[in-house]
Amino acid sequence: MEIDIVENKKNKLTFELKGETHTFCNILKNELWNDPKVEVSAYRIKHPLKGTPVFTVETSGKSPVTALQDAVKRLKKSGTAFKKSIEKQL
Residue 26 and residue 55 in contact, taking contact as beta carbons nearer than 8 Å: no
3-44: per-residue pLDDT in tens? 999 999 999 999 999 999 999 999 999 999 999 999 999 999
Entry pTM:
0.88
The CATH homologous superfamily of the domain defined by 2-89: RNA polymerase, RBP11-like subunit (3.30.1360.10)
Distance of alpha carbon 19 from alpha carbon 8, whole angstroms: 21
Q: Is residue 90's pLDDT more than 90? A: no
Angstrom CA distances, 41 to 14, 20, 24, 44, 72, stand at 10, 16, 14, 11, 14
Radius of gyration of the chain (CA): 14
